Structure 1
């Protein structure tokens, strides 16, 4: 599990195509990496990847064809910055919200505008995921835990404060860009519980 609080900016320094899936070499940049372990989970733009081997300040990770299809990782270019977060330890503060690192789908940036010192983005979510996004609820975009400002049909808005812009890749977001989207896991469990309750009532 993760929190959606980005603790480092890295970059993609190599990618090897294996005929459908890929292997990425991610430089960890300023991510705190004391005693990194082989096999540990690291969220890269919100996608949970397994660090298989380490090379100085970088790690290799396999990216399956399914992950390439469901996320924006296949869009990454060499030297492009990425948001990084190590998996949550039991003693860590939960500063954002519970994030699984399992991307649900891809959102598209429809508009952006400056709002005093913040920057507001309007995004469109896939229709089957929009129902999990609520005003003042939590959402994860490219691994960043954010609060939803407003919702209308399949679109929603988020405001990005200066600190978040500085510490993440959001400073480079633009209209038309594809963004990894993970909805709040609590919303998914709530839907499942309500669905099971309704099924039980119908079976009575």
Structure 2
């Protein structure tokens, strides 16, 4: 699990084709690798990858064709910058929200507009994901935990403060770019509970009464 609080921005150092899929080597820049062991998980652009090789300031991970097709990894090349976060420890602060590193789909940057010193970003998402996105709810974009400002159809908006833009790959993004999306896991469990039925007493009225829906 991760928090969606980016620890540093690394770069893709090498992409090797191996038996039909790829092995990525990632330059981890300032990320402290002293407590990382083989087999540990690291979120790369919001995708949970397993470290299979370790260097002083790098690691390698195997990426399947499934991951390449469902994420923005298929569009990356050597030198591409990626958000990095090591896996959450039980003693860590949960500054963002619970993130699994399992990307639900690709979104697209629609627009970026200045709002004081901050920026307002609008994203377009696959229709199947819209039911999981709610105003003031959480969403993970390229591994970054963000709060949804508003939702309209299959589009939603967020506000990015200067620190977030400067310390993540949002500094590289422009309208039309693809981004990795992971919806809040709570939304999926709520959907599952509502769909389960069976007299459990949980329905839309129950959720509204207890502040989980409007």
Q: TM-score, normalised by structure 2?
A: 0.91
SS in 1 for 2:95: coil
Matched with 2:114 is 114
Which runs of structure 2 are paired with 1:43-192 in the superposition (5 Å)?
43-192=43-192
CA distance in 2, matches of 1:94, 1:197: 32
- For structure 1, the residue ranges without an aligned partner over 5 or more in a row are none
State the alpha-carbon separation in 1 of the partners of residues 30 and 68 from structure 2.
25
Q: CA separation in 2, counterparts of 1:36 and 1:187?
A: 31
| Distance in 1 of aligned mates of 2:10 and 2:171 | 14
TM-score (norm. length: structure 1): 0.95
Q: CA RMSD in A?
A: 1.3
- Which residue is 1:34 aligned to? 34
SS of equivalent to 1:131: helix
Task: Give the whole-Å Cα distance in 1 for the aligned partners of 2:175 and 2:70.
Answer: 20
**Shift in Å, 1:119:** 1.0
Instruction: Give structure 2 stretches of 5+ with no counterpart.
Output: 202-214
- Rounded to whole Å, the distance in 2 between the matches of 1:66 and 1:139 is 22
